[in-house]
Chains A and B, each alone.
Chain A
Amino acid sequence: MVRREGYKNRIELLQGTLDMLILQTLSWGPEHGYGIGQAIRSGSGEVLQVETGSLYPALHRLEKQGWIRSEWRASEHNQRAKYYQLTAAGKRQLTAEQGRWNQLSAAIASLMHPGESEGQA
C-alpha cells in the first residue's frame, strides 16, 4: 500500500517486456537478481522499476524455459548469491525479441507521429 505512491510517476512494464529486459541485461554477463533489478533501473534512468514480485517469478520462468541458467557463487562483497547467465537458446531468444521489439516500437512510433513517418517514407 505504501509503495504504490512511489510508483505513480514510473512506467508500468509492458507484458512480456520484462523477459526481454532481463535477457538484455544478462547479455553483458552473469548477474544476480538484485543486480538485474538495479541495472534495469539505472539503465532506464530510474524510469523503469522492476518489482521483485515480477522479477523473481520471471527469472525462475526463464530458467525453466532454458534461456538462462543459474549458479551459486560469491558476490563482490563475498556474499553468496545466485548468478544468472544467458544460455545459447537465451541468446537466440533475445535476438528474436529485439527484432520484434524494433518492429513494435517503429509501428507505435509511426502511429504516434504520423507526419514524421510519412516524411521518412
Chain B
Amino acid sequence: MSMWLWFRRGRRDRELDEEIRAHLAMATRDRVERGEDPRAAEAAARREFGNRTLVEETTREMWGWSSLERLWQDVCYALRGMRRSPGFTAVTLLSLALGIGANTAIFSLVNTLMLRKLPVEHPEQLVEPSHRFQDEPHFNTFSWRQYQYFLAHNHVFSDLTGMSGINYDFGAFFHVRDRGPEAERVGGVCVTGNFFPMLGVRPALGRLLGPEDDRLNAPGPVAVVSWSYWKERFNLDPAIVGKRITVDGFPVTIAGVTARGFRGLILDSPEDIWLPLAMLPSLAPGRSLEKNGNVMLVGRMKPGVGIGQARAEMAILFKQAVGEGPAGRERSFLSAMQFEMESASAGLSRARDQFAGPLVLLMGVVGLLLLLACANVAGMLAARGAARQRELALRVSLGAGRWRLVRQALTESLLLSGSGTLLGIGVAWLGATALVRIVASGRERLEIHPVPDAHVLLFTAGLAVLTGLLFGISPVLHVWSTAPAASLRGAGKGGDTRFGRLLGKALVTAQVALSVGLLSVASLFILHLSDIYAGLGFERDHVLLATLDPSRAGYSRAQLARPYQEILERLRALPQVRSATLSRVTPVLGAGASRDATVEGYQDRPGELRYLSENWVGPKYFETFGTPLLRGRDFTFQDDGGPRAAIVNQAMARHYFGDGNPLGKHVTFDGDPKPYEIVGVVGDAKYIDPREIAGRIIYFNAFQEGHLFPRFSMRTRGAPAAVAGDFRRIANGVLKNAAVERITTLEDQVDATLVPERLTVTLSGLFGALGALLAAIGTYGLLAYSVARRGNEIGIRMALGATRRGIARMVLGESLGTTCTGLAIGVPLGYWARRAAAGLVPDLPVKGAAAIAVSAVMMILVALLAAYVPARRATRVDPMEALRYE
C-alpha cells in the first residue's frame, strides 16, 4: 500500500515539478524576447510565479488522495517520535497493554457468563425457575409431581421442559462407549420430549428427540449427540446416524446430531449427549420419575408475557404444588422456600451465581485502572509536549495549520493506543486463560470457554479508540494553547506554559486519586478474606487430608476399627506427623448431616429449628485441626463399649445452657432413644462453608459403635504433601487392596470454597499495585521534568543561600502537594468505590476506615519514593552552572 502510494506520488510530484519548470522557462523566454536581461528575466518570472512550494502544496491537494497520504506522513512522524524516545514508548505501551488487556480479559468472562445468548430460537423468552432458603444458593430442582402440576396449570409458558442427569444437576455425565473398548466420560443429561422442539434447535444430521421418544417402552432407545462430539469422536462421518453406542452399559442408537454450537443449556458444563428422560429409571436403577425423579426446569414464556407476570403466577403454582404434596417434614421444609425465576437467555450457570458480583466489580476496577493508565500516558505526553513546545511554536509561526498539528497529535495517540491494544490482546488471552483456571478451581466442576466473539472484539476496539482519544486530548490541548510568538520569546529552556504545568499536575492528581480508589477496594477485599481465614475456627495450614476406599480390603464396616486404629497409631509414630485422626467429614468439605434433637434441661420454643449438625470424629480430631478444647475431655479409643459420649461446640453450649455447665447433660435424637452424654466443649469451627455463621454442632466418637469413615487427617510438621507417600505406604500395609481415593491439603480444601474471594483479592491487589506503580511513574515524571525546568531557579536559590535540605524539602513538598490533592479526591472516591463494592459482594467489612487509611498512607509513601530521585538531583544542581545559563 505505502509502496504504491510512494510510487504514484513520486511520479506525480516529478510531473508537477516539470510542469512548473516549463512554466518558468516559458515565462523567462517571453521576457527575454521582450528585451529583458536573461538573469533579471528569470528572477522576475520566479517572482511573478509566487511561492512555488505553496502552489505545489495546493495543487497536490487537488489530487484527492492526499488525505490518505497525509495520514501516512502523520503515522511516519509518530513512529519516528516513538522510536526517538523508547523509554516513554515502552512504558506507554506496557501500561496501555495491561489496562486494555485486563479489561478485555475480564469482559470476555463477563460476556461468556452473563451476556452471550444461547444458540437457540428466541433465547430472551427462556426463564429458569428455582427456589431457595433465605441467604442460601438457589436450586433448580423440582419433583416430577411439581413439574406435572406446573405443566397442567400454568398460563404463562408456551412450554416447560425438564432435564435430569443421572448423577448431578450440574456437570452431569454418562459413561459412553462408542468405538473403543473403554467407556469414557461424556457430559450429558436426560431430557423431556419437548426439550428440542421447545428450544427450536435444529439437527445438523438425522433427527432430534421428540415426545414420541420420551415414553416408557418407546421402540429402540435413541440418543442425540452434539456437533462437536460428532467431529471429535466420529470425524463428521455421516454414517453416525443409526450407530449403536453404549451409555452406562445400556445400548442406544444415535438418531441425530444437533446444530453446530449447541452444547446444552448449562454454561458451566457443556453437554454432548442427550437421552429421553423416560430412560432415566433404566440408566439409574432405583430412580423412578414419580417417586424421586427430580428435574431441572427451563420454561419458554409465551410472546407478550413479561418475566414479572410469569414469576408471579409460578410462585403461586409452586405454593399450591407444595400444599398438595406429601405432608410432614418435606412440606414444612418446602414451605420455607422462596420461589424465584430469572432469565435463562444466557444459559444456566452456577458459576454466574458465584462470580457475577465479583466480575462486575472487577470490571469496575479494571475500568479505573484503564482510566489511570490514560491519565498516566496523557501526563507523559503532556510533559513531552511541553518539551516540544518550541518545535510546535516554530511550526505554528511558519504557517503549519493547527488542524494539521491536532491531527498529527491524535494520530500519534491513536497509534499508541492501537499498538497498546494489539499487545493488550495478547495480555487478555493469557489473562482470560488464567482467570478461567482460577474460576474453575472451586469445589464444583466448571468448564467455561470464553470465545472472542463479536461482542468482545467490538469492546476491545471501542477501548482502543476511547483510550486514544482520552489521553490524546492532552497533546491536542497543548497544540491549541501554543501561542507562537510568546513561546518562541519565552523559550529559554523548553518553553513552558502555565496551562501545561497545570495540566501535568492535574493528571498526576487524577492518577493519585484513582489509585487510592483502587487500593482501598483492594485492601477491603484483603481484609475481607483475612477475616474469613481468621474466623475459620481451625488452623488450615499443615494438614493433609486423605480418603481411603476400603471396599476391596475384605473387611466389614464393623471390623474396620482395629485396622483404622492401627493406621492412626502408625501415622502418629511418624516423626513428621504431630497428630492424626479420622472423621466422617472434614471442615468445609461441602457435605454434612443433621438431625433433630432434644436437649436435657432445655424447653424448645415453638417453631424453633431443632436440628444439630453432626460429625463422627476419632480421638485427637480437635488437636489435629487446631480447634481448642474449652471444657471437659477429648474422645478416646476406650470409649467404645462405655456410655455414648458427645462433644459440642460453643455455639451449641451457649444456645442450650447459656453460662451453665453442659458437661454431663444428655442429648437425644428423634428416632433414637439412647441418649448421648456431653463430655466436652470445643470452639466454633466452620462446618460446610467458610462464610457461614457458626451453627450448633455435635461431635460423636467414630470409634464408638463403629461409625467409622475412611477420611484421615494429619497435622504435619513440614509440608503436608511430604507425608502423602508415607500415608499410602502405611494404609496399604495395614489394609491390602484399599485404594487411596483423594489426597489434598486442608489449605486447598478451604481455598476451593473461596474462589470468588481469592479471585477478587488477587486481581484487585494486582491492579491496585499496578495503579500505584503507574501513579509513582507519573509523579516521578512530573517532578523530574519540573526539576529540569527549574534548574536555574534552584541554582539562584542556592546561590542566595538556600540549603540542600531546603531544596530537597521543596521538591518533596511539591510531590506531597499533588499527592494530598489527589488524596482529597481519592478518599471520597474510595468511600464511593467501597459502597459500590458492598452492593455487589455480600458481607464486606465496609465499616471502619482502616482500608482507606492504609491506602492513603501507601500513596504518600509511594509519592515520597517517587520524589526521591528528582529531589536528589535537585540538590546536586551546581549554582554556578545554573547561573551561567541565564
Interface residues of A (CB under 8 A from B): 2-3, 32-35, 38, 51-53, 56-57, 60-61, 64, 75, 77, 79-82
Residue of A32, A64, A79 near B63 (CB, 8 A) is: A64
Contact present for A34 and B59 (CB under 8 Å): no
Of the listed stretches B21-29, B334-342, B362-370, chain A binds B21-29
Does B531 count as interface, using CB distance less than 8 angstroms? no
Q: Which residues of B contact A (CB under 8 A)?
A: 15-16, 18-20, 22-23, 25-27, 29-30, 47-51, 54-55, 58-59, 61-64
**Is A52's CB under 8 angstroms from B15's CB?**
no
Find chain B residues with CB under 8 A from A38 CB. 30
Given contacts A33-B22, A56-B16, A64-B63, 16 further A-B contacts (CB under 8 A): A2-B47, A3-B48, A32-B19, A32-B23, A33-B19, A34-B22, A34-B23, A38-B30, A51-B50, A52-B23, A53-B50, A53-B58, A56-B58, A64-B64, A79-B22, A82-B19
Dominant secondary structure at the B interface: helix
Of the A-B pairs whose beta carbons lie under 8 Å apart in the complex, a sample of 9, sorted by A's number, is A3-B48, A3-B50, A33-B23, A60-B59, A60-B63, A64-B62, A79-B29, A80-B22, A81-B22
CB proximity of A108 to chain B, nearest CB, Å = 29
Which residues on the B side are within 8 Å of A53 (C-beta)? 50-51, 54-55, 58
Contact assessment for B59 and A56 in the assembled complex, using a CB-CB cutoff below 8 Å: yes
Q: Measured between C-beta atoms, what is the minimum distance from A94 to chain B in Å?
A: 19
Q: How far is the CA of A46 from the CA of B79 in the complex (A)?
A: 51
Q: Is there an interface contact between B50 and A56, defined as CB atoms closer than 8 Å? A: no
Tell me the nearest residue of chain B to A33, going by C-beta.
Answer: B23
Q: Nearest Cβ in chain A — how far from B40, in angstroms? A: 15
The reply to whether A57 and B61 contact each other, CB–CB distance below 8 Å, is yes
Knowing A3-B50, A52-B55, A77-B29 are in contact, say whether A82-B62 is a contact too (CB < 8 A). Answer: no
Known contacts A3-B50, A56-B55, A32 near B62 by CB under 8 Å: no
Contacting residues, chain A, for B18 (C-beta < 8 A): 80, 82
Q: Which residue of chain B lies nearest to A58 when distances are taken between CB atoms in the complex?
A: B62
A34 touches B26 (CB 8 A): yes
- The CA-CA distance from A53 to B55 in the complex, in Å, is 5
Bound complex: CA A51 to CA B48 (Å): 9
Closest B-chain residue to A56, C-beta based? B59
CA distance A57 to B47 in the complex (A): 19
Least CB distance from A41 to B in Å reads 11
Knowing A3-B50, A56-B55, say if A61 contacts B26 (CB, 8 Å).
no
* B28 → chain A closest CB, angstroms: 10
On whether the beta carbons of A34 and B27 are closer than 8 Å, the reply is: yes
**Across-interface contacts of A80 in B (CB, < 8 A):** 18, 22
Determine if B62 and A61 form an interchain contact, defined as CB atoms under 8 angstroms apart: yes
Known: A53-B55, A60-B59. A79 touches B47 (CB 8 A): no
Q: Which B residues are in CB contact (< 8 Å) with A32?
A: 19, 22-23, 26
A interface, over-half SS: helix
Task: Knowing A3-B47, A33-B23, A52-B50, say if A82 contacts B59 (CB, 8 Å).
Answer: no
Bound-state CA distance A79–B19 (Å) is 11
Complex contacts, B30 vs chain A, CB 8 Å: 38
Most chain A Cβ neighbours within 10 Å, of B15, B51, B59, B64: B59
Contacts of A3 in B (CB 8 A): 47-48, 50
Interface residue from B29, B49, B62 paired with A52 (Cβ < 8 Å): B49
Chain A residue numbers with a CB within 8 Å of B64 are 64
In the bound complex, CA of A35 to CA of B48 (Å): 15
Q: B62 to chain A: closest CB distance in Å?
A: 4
Write out the residue numbers on chain B whose beta carbons fall within 8 Å of the beta carbon of A57. Answer: 55, 58-59, 61-62
The chain B residue with its CB closest to the CB of A55 is B55
Q: Which residues of A contact B51 (CB under 8 A)?
A: 53
Instruction: Determine the chain A residues whose CB is within 8 A of the CB of B62 once the complex forms.
Output: 57, 60-61, 64
Q: How far is the CA of A53 from the CA of B61 in the complex (A)?
A: 12
7 smallest CB-CB distances across A and B, nearest first, come from: A60-B62, A81-B22, A61-B62, A34-B26, A34-B23, A56-B59, A82-B19
In the assembly, what is the distance between CA of A41 and CA of B745, in Å?
A: 99
Closest residue of chain B to A75 (Cβ to Cβ) is B26
Question: Which residues of A have CB within 8 Å of B29?
Answer: 77, 79
Q: A31–B557 Cα gap in the complex (Å)?
A: 114
A8 smallest CB distance to B (angstroms): 16
Which residue on chain B has the smallest CB distance to residue A81?
A: B22
Task: Give the Cβ gap from A85 to chain B, nearest Cβ, in Å.
Answer: 15
Which chain B positions have C-beta within 8 A of A35? 26
A49 to chain B, nearest CB (A): 9
In angstroms, how far is the closest chain A Cβ from the Cβ of B699? 93
Chain B residues within 8 Å of A52, by CB = 23, 49-50, 55
A3 to B50, CA, bound (A): 8
Give the chain B neighbours of A77 by CB distance below 8 A. 26, 29
CA–CA, A57 to B20, complex, Å? 12
Whole-angstrom distance between the Cβ of B398 and the nearest chain A Cβ: 16
Give Cα A61–Cα B25 distance, bound, in whole angstroms. 24
**Contact assessment for B47 and A56 in the assembled complex, using a CB-CB cutoff below 8 Å:** no
Name B58's closest neighbour in chain A (CB-CB): A57
Cβ distance B369 to chain A, nearest Cβ, rounded Å: 49
- Complex-state Cα separation, A3 to B54, whole angstroms: 15
User: CB-nearest residue of chain A relative to B48?
Assistant: A3
B19:A56 contact, CB within 8 angstroms: yes
A33 to B26, CA, bound (A): 10
Q: How many whole Å from B67's CB to the nearest CB in chain A?
A: 14
When the two chains form their complex, are residues B61 and A82 in contact, meaning their CB atoms are under 8 A apart?
no
A82 to B50, CA, bound (A): 20
Instruction: State the Cβ distance, A47 to closest chain B Cβ, in Å.
Output: 17
In whole angstroms, how far apart are the Cα atoms of A35 and B62 in the complex?
Answer: 21
The smallest C-beta distance from A19 to any residue of chain B, in angstroms, reads: 12
Q: Which residues on A sit within 8 Å (CB–CB) of B49?
A: 52
How far is B27's CA from A32's CA once the two chains are assembled, in angstroms? 12
